[in-house]
């Protein structure tokens, strides 16, 4: 949200941008009603060239706040100004939000902001290291951090800063033993976060299959494709080897797992539905 605001002001330096959380929107609105000065509150929000409201799911179930929020949206849109609203889920999945607000949200451009993938995490680390010319970090450590710290970017940057700081303070070289020792608690948490069994259950729920279908010998497309998705996710989100993954899918050979991974990688490029399913499942599992 802040990045959007900064970029907007770079392009329109004489404009005004206003950012606030939905929680602050509610508190300021309530305070304005108590002070009998709602005009000032409305004027401040509706005069901004770019209005950004964060975490709109916070106003769920709050009728009076939603009423004012709806009218604010209408005024901003009608005046031809820019409006950016964020939530922790898509408009269709927001609960206890008035249908007319959901309709306005769906009317605009809905952008799904996904967790950083491996390539982006890798580039973030490399970019950070460019600003630390005094730090010598082997390539294998860079790849290790990018692969294992996958929850969010803040956690990744924090892990990198911790490794660099501890290495500087203790005057120790940054190698695999040092990194696993320094980040033991964080690595243990991420290691426990997702298991092959978690993935199988989530995939079965998504495709409405039985858990036994993950291990069955059936090759029907309706079962085989979700099974391949589960194998692909197991490789991406866990540290299990290919043979170990195969064993958890009915004792299949590691070559079957390799085939499944390559198949899903190809389909993610050519089939939007498969790519959308994988992104959604990854988001659910990593969250």
Q: Which domains does the chain have, with CATH numbers?
A: 2-107 (3.40.50.300), 118-193 (1.10.8.60), 196-286 (1.10.1750.10)
Q: pLDDT for 196-207, tens place per residue?
A: 999 999 999 999
| Most confident region among 46-50, 109-113, 278-282 by mean pLDDT | 46-50
More confident residue, 10 or 282: 10
- Closest-CA residue to 144 (of 168, 116, 177, 170): 177
Give the pLDDT mean for 236-244. Answer: 86
Phi/psi at 116 (nearest 5 deg)?
-60, 130
Q: What is residue 193's predicted lDDT score, i.e. its pLDDT?
A: 66
**What are the phi and psi torsion angles at 48 (to 5°)?**
-70, 140
Per-residue model confidence as pLDDT tens digits over 124-170: 999 999 999 999 999 999 999 998 888 788 889 999 999 999 999 99
| DSSP symbols for 122-141 | HHHHHHHHHT-TT----HHH
- Average pLDDT of span 278-287: 83
227 CB burial (10 A radius; 0-12, 13-18, 19+): buried
Contact status, residue 144 vs residue 176, Cβ threshold 8 Å: yes
Q: Under DSSP, is residue 240 helix (H, G, I), strand (E, B) or coil?
A: coil
Q: Which of 66-70, 175-179, 191-195, 215-219 has the lowest mean pLDDT?
A: 191-195
Instruction: Indicate the pTM of the whole model.
Output: 0.53
Q: For position 237, what pLDDT does the model report?
A: 85
The token duo for 132 is 């630390």
**Length of the chain measured in residues:** 287
Burial zone of 9 (CB within 10 Å; 0-12 exposed, 13-18 middle, 19+ buried)? middle
**CA gyration radius for the chain?**
24
**More confident position, 240 or 211:** 211
Q: What is the mean pLDDT of the chain?
A: 91
280 contact partners, CB below 8 Å, separation of at least 6: 206
Share of residues in the chain with pLDDT > 90 (%): 71
Q: How far apart are CA 159 and CA 32, in angstroms?
A: 43
For the residues 250-278, what does the mean pLDDT come to?
92
pLDDT of residue 218: 85
pLDDT of 245 over the 80 cut: yes
List strand residue ranges (DSSP E) for the chain, in order. 17-21, 50-54, 82-85
Q: pLDDT value at position 49? A: 96
Using alpha carbons, select from 87, 94, 95, 93 the residue that is nearest to residue 111. Answer: 87
pLDDT in tens, 72-119: 999 999 999 999 999 988 888 888 899 999 998 988 898 887 778 888
- Assign residue 60 a region (left: φ > 0; alpha: ψ between -120 and 50; beta: otherwise): beta
CA 87 centroid distance within chain: 12
Q: What is the pLDDT of residues 183-195, one digit of tens each?
A: 988 887 655 567 8
pLDDT, position 154: 86
pLDDT for 182: 93
Predicted pLDDT at 70: 95
- What pLDDT shows up at residue 156? 93
Q: Which pair of tokens denotes residue 6?
A: 């900064």
What pLDDT, on a 0 to 100 scale, did the predictor assign at position 239?
A: 77
Q: Which residue has the tokens 């303070």?
A: 169
pLDDT tens string 130-141: 999 999 999 999
């Amino acid at each position: 949200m802040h990045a959007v605001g900064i970029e907007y002001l770079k392009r329109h330096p004489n404009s005004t941008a206003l950012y606030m959380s939905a929680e602050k929107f509610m508190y300021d609105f309530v305070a304005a009603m108590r002070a009998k000065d709602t005009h000032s509150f409305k004027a401040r929000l509706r005069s901004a060239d770019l209005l950004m409201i964060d975490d709109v799911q916070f106003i769920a179930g709050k009728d009076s706040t939603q009423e004012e929020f709806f009218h604010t949206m209408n005024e901003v849109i009608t005046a031809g100004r820019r409006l950016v609203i964020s939530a922790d889920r898509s408009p269709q999945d927001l609960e206890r939000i008035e249908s007319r607000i959901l309709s306005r949200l769906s009317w605009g451009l809905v952008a799904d902001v996904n967790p950083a993938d491996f390539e982006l995490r890798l580039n973030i680390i490399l970019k950070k290291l460019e600003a630390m010319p005094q730090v010598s970090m082997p390539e294998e450590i860079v790849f290790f951090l990018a692969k294992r710290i996958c929850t969010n970017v803040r956690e990744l940057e924090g892990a990198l800063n911790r490794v660099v700081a501890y290495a500087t303070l203790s005057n120790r070289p940054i190698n695999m033993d040092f990194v696993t020792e320094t980040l033991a608690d964080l690595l243990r948490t991420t290691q426990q976060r997702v298991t092959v069994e978690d993935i199988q259950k989530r995939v079965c729920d998504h495709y409405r299959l039985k858990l036994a279908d993950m291990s069955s010998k059936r090759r029907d497309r309706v079962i085989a494709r979700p099974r391949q998705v589960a194998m692909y996710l197991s490789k991406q989100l866990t540290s299990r080897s290919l043979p170990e993954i195969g064993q958890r899918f009915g004792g299949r050979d590691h070559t079957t797992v390799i085939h499944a991974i390559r198949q899903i990688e190809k389909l993610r490029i050519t089939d939007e539905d498969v790519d959308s399913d994988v992104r959604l499942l990854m988001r659910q599992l990593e969250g």
